[in-house]
Chain A
């Protein structure tokens, strides 16, 4: 965001629309940046108006992550693309044990997009960032011709610091470890699906979109020897467990009856022939921890608002075939595989 002189005619935030000139680097772009982005995301680093944000970092390892957001629709029960873009990147950092510090945000906006909606999205982003204690310190705005985008796409990149002594990684699961899930699955995916008009059914399910670094900090304080953390986003819990199994070279044994699923999520999945294990989450995490620490871990999680529904769902086992297997609630057994093909496009 460059430091252009402020234009005289204010943006029409009620009826105005994004035009190609808003991305052209001239006065109109400066106006858009001042009128929407700076107004909501205001902080000293952004206010400097440089092409980059410069800051000192605390000691420890730096973590960095990036995430593009193309969710459709842009507004959905429990969130919107703005808050999601903040939560998504914070959570990717948090899964490495990092305390998130700063974010960047890149906007690709389609010509004709309502300024009022953009304003709402950026306000939501600012609110999510403030609640999470991070700042959006640099950004970029591009406008593409009508028909070449779909409203707005947002890419956020974040950096954070991993405190000394914390070693979280997907390859650290060991046979005998406990598998813990922080709460009910499938809420984000079902909320998005229900909102897509052509499905024609309504549920009261809200997206679980949330920043998880606070929960992670609580967990690490209680159990610093935690082995792995991962948020089951696209591909759901099934993909998350399969990834960890492959990275660590182990198998997983889980119990269906121990996996919390909100009744409305279960009902929607039943109706659509979907498996909640494959549905995306945006505010849940899977933790692998040494068996003898699971009681402490669960106690710490239960004391945090985002971990009240946490439970142990299974164990890491030895398995040369790296399979995730599940004891079904019905009493049988089956494999939990990665989803094949596309289930829900543009979920985040």
Chain B
């Protein structure tokens, strides 16, 4: 496949692996955090970790929007369908995520709720147009990358006067989450920075990472060769003792990002004062809500639902895993009480979560055998 195979080339991978192996200092550890679930997925799916020298380890960050979504928001979504009788449009991977009382949108649907799996915001708009008599709510989720499509849908709905369409907004922001993890003193030596998010926001918002934390950050594409090249760039910075923001993903990311999309986001959204992240707790100014001009399309204002507070499963190590302090296998629930089919913790609920990736791709005969 053109423009894809080039970034998954076996021989180039071997050469990069050899270069990394030759350049690492055998006397030290390299703990590199990949922020995004997309990187985690690529590392596991292509087996990148096995190509790395033994003391270079990828530490999996919190950049998986489904993983960090608080369980209470699932409860709220279920309540929207059951108490307010709305048609809820959602991406498929949210359907399996258990809320506070372990119920999922799949279960709610089986019990009669009108939950539709969609592939884009445009599908949700179409459903709203086709069913003028029904309230249609789009369950919006994701980092900066997925925010413009939601904004476009909202502007379209306003232009068309689509009064039965609204958005349950759960969009979150990358830099505040990264800042929160680093402020807690995560033990890492460098960061593989977001790729798709950075196409939107550019490289400038990461300047605080070297300035305040003396850590190198390389914006890295999601293909396995991107990850390996970025790893080499981080290794070189670590060896040289420098801390800069570098951009490996030059084919898509600029310093200033996508100004048009930024302007669109500024029109449609505003920053929430605070938002609770699953596994990380409350982080100030880390999420978006609809701007007052779009209040009529804000599902939270139109259909207020109060939900009971939620509690994480006992023994779940997701907070420590999301901060890079522990590995999935260091959680006693991993693979016993908690599997992709029956996820208990945040990192197991989405295929991009660290625990799910570890379970689905990362087990090896040797690793599992030694626990």
Contact = CB atoms under 8 A, between A and B. Distances in A.
B364 A335 contact: yes
Give the interface centre of A266, A319, A327, A333 by most chain B CB atoms within 10 Å: A333
Give chain B's interface residue range (CB within 8 Å of chain A): 35 or more
Interface stretch (B23-31, B46-54, B138-146, B230-238): B46-54
A266 B13 CA distance: 21
Q: Which of A257, A266, A328, A337 has most chain B Cβ within 10 Å? A: A328
Contacts of A320: 369
Contacts of B368: 321, 323
Given A199-B119, A323-B368, A341-B340, A332 B47 contact: yes
Interface in A147-164: none
Interface string B1-27: 100100010100110010000000000
A15 interface: no
Interface string A42-53: 000000000000
B8 A330 contact: yes
Interface in A247-282: 251, 257, 263, 266-267, 270
Contacts of A342: 92, 95-96, 106
A270 B45 CA distance: 13
Interface stretch (B210-218, B293-301, B354-362): B354-362
Contacts of A331: 10, 13-14, 17, 47, 51
A335 B8 contact: no
Contacts of B106: 342
Given A198-B119, A270-B1, A341-B96, A333 B341 contact: no
Contacts of B17: 331
Interface string B35-72: 00000000011111111000000000000000000000
B341 A340 contact: yes
A243 to B, nearest CB: 15
Interface string A314-348: 00000111010101111111110100111000000
Contacts of B119: 198-199
B224 A319 contact: no
B260 interface: no
Given A198-B119, A321-B369, A332 B362 contact: no
Contact of A334 (B45, B92, B118, B340): B45
A333 B340 contact: no
Contact of B365 (A325, A337, A341): A325
Interface string A284-328: 000000000000000000000000000000000001110101011
Given A198-B123, A263-B1, A251 B49 contact: no
Interface string B85-116: 00000001001100000000010000000000
Nearest to B126: A198
B274 interface: no
A333 to B, nearest CB: 5
Given A198-B119, A340-B341, A341-B340, A251 B51 contact: no
Contact of B47 (A319, A330, A341): A330
Interface residues of A, number: 26
Given A330-B13, A340-B360, A319 B44 contact: no
Nearest to B14: A331
Nearest to A263: B1
Nearest to B225: A330
Given A321-B368, A323-B363, A341-B96, A332 B48 contact: yes
A251 B365 CA distance: 9
Contacts of B13: 330-332
Output the residue of A263, A321, A331 with the most chain B CB within 10 A: A331
A319 to B, nearest CB: 6
Interface string B320-343: 000000000000000000011100
Nearest to B363: A335
A323 B339 CA distance: 15
Contacts of A327: 47
A328 B340 contact: no
Contacts of B48: 330, 332
A332 B4 contact: no
Contact of A329 (B10, B340, B369): B10
Given A340-B340, A341-B96, A335 B10 contact: no
B46 A328 contact: yes
Contacts of A266: 1
Given A332-B46, A332-B48, 7 more contacts: A323-B364, A325-B365, A328-B47, A329-B10, A330-B10, A332-B51, A333-B364
6 contacts: A331-B47, A332-B48, A333-B364, A337-B359, A341-B95, A341-B96
Interface of B: 1, 4, 8, 10, 13-14, 17, 44-51, 92, 95-96, 106, 118-119, 123, 224, 339-341, 351, 356, 359-365, 368-369
Interface of A: 198-199, 251, 257, 263, 266-267, 270, 319-321, 323, 325, 327-335, 337, 340-342
Which 9 pairs across A and B sit closest by C-beta, in order of nearness?
A332-B47, A340-B340, A330-B46, A334-B361, A333-B47, A337-B360, A328-B47, A341-B96, A332-B50
